[in-house]
Amino acid sequence: MQTILLTGFEPFGGEQSNPSWLAVQQLDGYQLDDEVQIVSRQLSCVFEKSQIELQTAIAELKPVLVLAVGQAGGRTGLCFEKVAINFIDARIADNAGQQPIDKSVVTDGPAAYFTTLPVKAMVNSLKQQGIPAAVSYTAGTYVCNTVFYALMHQLKDKPKVRAGFLHIPYAPQQAIGKAVASMPVDMVVNALKLCLPVALQTTEDLQIAAGTLD
Query: Which ranges of the chain does DSSP label H, i.e. alpha helix?
Result: 19-24, 47-61, 119-127, 143-154, 172-175, 185-199, 203-210
Backbone angles phi, psi at 21, to 5 degrees: -75, -40
Backbone angles phi, psi at 135, to 5 degrees: -85, 135
Q: Supply the angle between the helices 203-210 and 119-127 in degrees, to the nearest 10.
A: 50
Nearest to 211 by CA among 137, 152, 127: 127
Q: Is 35 a catalytic residue?
A: no
Residue type at 64 in one-letter notation: V
Choice among 144, 153, 195, 204 that is catalytic: 144
Choice among 45, 79, 153, 167 that is catalytic: 167
83-85 and 112-114 as β-strands: parallel, antiparallel, unpaired?
antiparallel
Choice among 45, 79, 81, 195 that is catalytic: 81
Q: Is 81 a catalytic residue?
A: yes
**Active-site annotation, residues:** 81, 144, 167
